Structure 1
Amino acid sequence: IMTNWRSSLILTAYIAIFLTGLPANLLALRAFMGRVRQPQPAPVHILLLSLTLADLLLLLLLPFKMIEAAYNFRWHLPELLCALTGFGFYSSIYCSTWLLAGISIERYLGVAFPVQYKLSRKPVYGVIAALVAWIMSFGHCTIVIIGQYWKSAQNTTNENGITCYENFTDAQLNVVLPVRLELCLFLFFVPMVITIFCYWRFVWIMLTQPHVGAQRRRRAVGLAVVTLLNFLVCFGPYNISHLVGFYTKKSPPWRAEAVVFSSLNASLDPLLFYFSSSAVRRAFGKGLQILRHQSSSLLGRRGRETGEGTNADRGVSQAEGAPSSDFTTD
């Protein structure tokens, strides 16, 4: 393994994202699967389930990015794995942007036109929206496969490995850079503008309606803030690298760090799930309760903390037995 301080930091970040994102997304997956199996599930739960699957795809491919970082960004695995990893990894990122936009549209319609929305919402709308997001992202990201194999000057693998999806020839850059620009505009800026507009209206309505409780208002603001952070902090640097690359006619040297920020999306989305769905809040509450009981038994303090645990968990139990207080879609 050959690492320097830069690759070591990136490797550490990937490991942290993997360890935090995987269990949280698996909990969310279980919760959303339960909601989708119910009769006439809300379109938003289908979109949230699709977003969870996109995050899990990224997380399952993250070990390959870890190996790449561990070897100072030299790819020693089969070149086919390089292309497939990049294809799935970047497709997951761009699928997430349009799924987030779809969720924001659904939230806005649910509070702006509650009666019409409840009468017209059908699960098939969520399925269609999710399929469109997946097809758009996977269709656009086929350039990763093409770019990796098309007349590459470095395809002759040596003992030092190759660089995966980097060091393109001039002929490759003539194809890759314009496609990256199109990715940035159509799969980042357009869904971001839609999302900002929808959540601005959504939060405004939630804050100005007198019958909306303080807890729901806080969740509405939290949902909007987490989604905005997703676009600006996670997806922003990577897509700005597309603009810089198109202007300078070469890949910027900080692209690897930008990819790390995009991966952070998989750890940030569970917060969005928490604000979005009572089912996820119950799942997270049960998970924390199990961890608390396990740690208590390991430390031999189960008996002393039983009373405290009962009081602390009372809110969760009440939430389970009470009618859902989520946004109108619940």
Structure 2
Amino acid sequence: MHCSNAQVCHGVYGFTLITGLPANVLAFYTFFQKIRQRCTPMDVLLFSLTISDLIFLFFLPFRMVEAANMKWTLPYFLCPLSGFIFYSTIYNSTFHLTAISVERYLGVAFPIKYKLKRNSRNAVIASVIFWLISMAHCSIVYIMQYHDSSNPNYTAPYTRDTCYEEFSIEQLKILLPFRLELFAVLFAMPFLICCFCYIKFIHILSNLPNINAKKRYRAIGMALGTLLVFIICFMPYNVSHVIGYVGNYSPDWRVYALLTSTFNACLDPFIFYFSSSALRGTFKNVFQELSRRLLQPCFLNEWVFTSGTQLLHSNDLSL
């Protein structure tokens, strides 16, 4: 599925790659160190989601090449592979973000009872299940690319210059109902759970008198940010599934709706920032080090200028 406006696609993909890659690398390093020492279920979920985003970003250049050439010019086996990874990581994100919302809600609604029962092993099991469900659903990419080979009008995949774009009537009979199921199971249900958990979460936090105001606003910002990610990044593309099913066609504008999903990889680190004090510390240290290195030449030049001026004055006095 290529984008007819290469500049728009490159702008979105490039922005996501430039901002998302360094942020997710920092998040990966932070959560990896945290898990090696002493991890919580939240750390496991955030680490798994970070890995998902990094895999997504690794395969993003394939989309950029397709957008630049306005057709698929890479080896064809990369077409279903990149599509499979692309869609799997997107839906994997919805599951992980939902699990994080459940973790946050249970932590404030039942603080003592849940703290006694929370177990990092359960978070690992949940993450594995999320990966398996998202990958199992998105294997439809492989099925559609190689389906209908008995049809006399069937075109061998390796001779095509399009990727997951042109579908026969027989393929649409399978694909459109399946997309509706993707909307219901992999988007609508997680979104509703996320809304319930974070609405209750915000309500409980707002009524707690003894909680620090800064912590309250940070937690509320994390909750609202997650809901915005669902609405901005995931909703447009998933709504296209419903419209396509009702109209019995594959909408051409789905590629632009899919563009918003790519922003998820660069927005997730901001959710991580609100969710993890360890990551906030990492970001703070990195920014301080960058600021120090950027300002160092200025201080050096100022020192050289000042020292030189003093030396000239001292020479003038000696004369």
Aligned to 2:268: 269
The answer as to 2:131 corresponding to 1:134 is yes
C-alpha distance after superposition, 1:119-166 (max 9, x if no partner): 1111111111111111110010110111112136443555xx521111
Aligned residues: 298
After the TM superposition, which residues 103-252 of structure 1 pair with which residues of structure 2 at under 5 Å, given as runs? 103-151=100-148, 153-155=154-156, 157=158, 162-252=161-251
The answer as to 2:54 corresponding to 1:56 is yes
Give 3-state SS (helix, strand or coil) of 1:78's partner: coil
Check conservation: 2:146, 2:157, Cα contact below 8 A.
no
Question: By how many angstroms is 1:296 displaced?
Answer: 1.4
CA distance in 2, matches of 1:164, 1:302: 54
Unpaired segments ≥5 residues, structure 2: 304-319
CA distance in 1, matches of 2:279, 2:301: 29
Question: By how many angstroms is 1:226 displaced?
Answer: 1.0
The answer as to 2:77 corresponding to 1:76 is no
Question: By how many angstroms is 1:301 displaced?
Answer: 2.8
- In the superposition, the TM-score normalised over structure 2's length comes to 0.89
Q: Aligned in 2, Cα 1:304/1:68: closer, same or farther, shift over 3 Å?
A: same
Give 3-state SS (helix, strand or coil) of 1:300's partner: helix
C-alpha distance after superposition, 1:163-210 (max 9, x if no partner): 111111111111111111111100000000000100111111111100
Q: 1:300 aligns with which of 298, 301, 307?
A: 298
* Identical positions, percent: 45
The answer as to 2:97 corresponding to 1:100 is yes
CA distance in 1, matches of 2:73, 2:278: 42
CA distance in 1, matches of 2:93, 2:120: 19
CA distance in 1, matches of 2:107, 2:3: 50
Q: Which runs of 4+ in 1 moved over 2 A?
A: 151-158, 299-305
Check conservation: 2:3, 2:256, Cα contact below 8 A.
no
CA distance in 2, matches of 1:131, 1:121: 17
Check conservation: 1:293, 1:302, Cα contact below 8 A.
no
The answer as to 2:252 corresponding to 1:259 is no
Check conservation: 2:55, 2:89, Cα contact below 8 A.
yes
Q: Aligned in 2, Cα 1:135/1:156: closer, same or farther, shift over 3 Å?
A: closer
CA RMSD of aligned residues (A): 1.8
CA distance in 2, matches of 1:31, 1:252: 41
Aligned to 2:311: none
Check conservation: 1:61, 1:85, Cα contact below 8 A.
yes
Aligned to 2:314: none
Greater radius of gyration (CA): 2
